[in-house]
Amino acid sequence: MEMLPDQCKALIEKAAKGAPYDELAAKVTSGDPKAVLAEAKKLLADLKGHPGAKLVPDVVKDIEAKIGDLEKLSPTEFETKGQAGIEVIIPLLVNARKLVGSANQRHERAERLEAKVKALQSSHPHAAYVKSHLDKILELIKDAKAGAVKGDEDVGAKLTDGEAQYEKANQLASAEEVYRLKRHDLEAEVKEISKDSADFPDKAKTLDKIKEHMKAADEASKAFDHVKTGGMMKAVEALLLVVTIGTKAKAGTPPTPENIKKLMEQPGGQKIMDDMVAALPAEAQKDVLIVILEARFNMDVKMFADAAKREAGDEVDAANLDVPAPNLMAYYEMLKAVPDGHTKLNPSMARFDQVEDDTGSYYESSGGAVVMACSVSMNAEGNPLGEPSELETIDDDSKTRTDTPMPTYGKWTTCTKLVTRLMTARAS
């Protein structure tokens, strides 16, 4: 596109300068031979001054010689031979003007492209990366210049192809620069987490996976596939985010919502985060899940010591609650099992309130809150779950199993309340 204004300007100039030659061609058979020859001499002088004349010197010399031969004729000889000579010279002169203009225009276009290629070679930090591309363009420019002098019709197409190849080479070099800068930054982070002092879940497996992604990125770079290199770098970034979150979680420090959201934005980030949550140690689950539920499902998770405190909006730090975390984990597992339209995109599922007393669990429609009463006493043994006598028939899949640990009352209540709420949300 940047070549277009120059090309349009050249065509306008070509039309203006070519007009006298076209007028002369019309006089070949009807004009006075002497007057036509005098006009031809003037146009030849104009042609010799054209920048493109040096590209076709033999053509110009041939016309000059033929005009000279006519001028050497005597008046009598000119009377008999002049017209025939004019009919040979004028078409040659007109075609030469067209060839000179076209050759010059295409030659200049080729030189502009060549200058851009050489500028990229000398100034771009990653020009060597696209050396093979640039060498091919320079060879194409060489052929185009030779074709311009010959008047080959495919010169314009060749130059258009060369310009497209240059843009591609420039983009590839810039994409490689972005890749290498990103890789350098990520390598520094990988070096830090590779130290013996770094402690996070699945360390060896994570480092092997990062190494695998880095290798795949390098191979993609060699193949000029920067879509894949970008994907591999995002995969590494996702793993590094998992390490950051996992390291904090293992130390009992909740991750930041920003890091959780960054991880979710990565390709496959949501599944990576779900796998990470599943591997969290029980003692870290409570604090970490509060943050993750907020970021993952757009849920406002609040903790209250009792119903009165909840009514007053007086929250308590999760670390000060005696209620174990499995109820949050069960809530998380249930939420991730259903479509986003029923969870983070559902205004009826805006809050999760955990209350450490025995006031009971319920759904509060005014604030879209699932309220879970879950005190230590309610998790004590003796609370029968799935009591057969309470229903006439119980599906085998719904019966409590004897070969697995009995769930806490809090976890059971969380699941049943949530299932009820999700079914209501879907029905509405």
Count the Cβ atoms, other than its own, within 10 Å of residue 419.
Answer: 12
Residue 225 is predicted with a pLDDT of: 97
What integer pLDDT is reported at residue 71 of this predicted model? 87
3-state secondary structure the chain: CCCHHHHHHHHHHHHHHHHHHHHHHHCCCCCCHHHHHHHHHHHHHHHHCCHHHHHCHHHHHHHHHHHHHHHCCCHHHHHHHHHHHHHHHHHHHHHHHHHHHHHHHHHHHHHHHHHHHHHHHHHCCCHHHHHHHHHHHHHHHHHHHHHHHHCCCCHHHHHHHHHHHHHHHHHHHHHHHHHHHHHHHHHHHHHHHCCCCCCCCCHHHHHHHHHHHHHHHHHHHHCCCHHHHHHHHHHHHHHHHHHHHHHHHHCCCCCCHHHHHHHHHCCCHHHHHHHHHHCCCHHHHHHHHHHHHHHHHCCEEEEECCHHHHHHCCCCCHHHCCCCCHHHHHHHHHHHCCCHHHCCCCHHHCEEEEECCCCCCEEECCCCEEEEECCCHHHCCCCCCCCHHHCCCCCHHHCCCCCCCCCCHHHHHHHHHHHHHHHHHHHC
Reading the block at residue 276, the tokens are 């990470």
Instruction: Report residues of the chain scoring pLDDT below 70.
Output: 1-19, 21-22, 24, 51, 249-250, 252, 281-286, 318-327, 375-394, 396-428
Kindly report the backbone phi and psi dihedral angles of residue 337, in degrees, each rounded to the nearest multiple of 5, phi listed first.
Answer: -85, -5
Q: How many helices (H) and strands (E) does the chain have?
A: 14, 4
pLDDT at 5: 54
pLDDT of residue 198: 84
Edge to edge, the sheet with strand 300-304 lists 300-304, 351-355, 369-373, 362-364
**Domain end call among 119, 151, 183:** 151
- For residue 31, the model assigns a pLDDT of 73
Picking from 253, 251, 277, 254, the residue whose alpha carbon sits closest to that of residue 264 is: 277
Tokens in use for 84? 């025939």
End-to-end CA distance of the chain: 55
Instruction: Give the number of domains in the chain.
Output: 2
Write out the H or E segment, with its range, that includes residue 304: strand 300-304
CA-nearest of 262, 261, 259, 324 to 287 is 324
Pairing type for strands 351-355 and 300-304 reads parallel
Tell whether 169 is covered by a domain.
no
Asked whether residue 252 is assigned to any structural domain, the reply reads no
Q: Sort 282 into a burial class: Cβ within 10 Å, 0-12 / 13-18 / 19+.
A: exposed
In the prediction, which pLDDT does 139 show? Answer: 96
Per-residue model confidence as pLDDT tens digits over 242-284:
888 777 766 767 778 788 888 888 777 788 778 877 777 666 6
Domain that holds residue 312: 294-428
Predicted pLDDT at 194: 92
Residue 378: the pLDDT is 52
Q: Domain boundary at 120, 151, 182, which?
A: 151
Is 183 a member of any domain? no
In a domain, residue 274? The reply is no
- Does residue 176 lie in a domain region? no
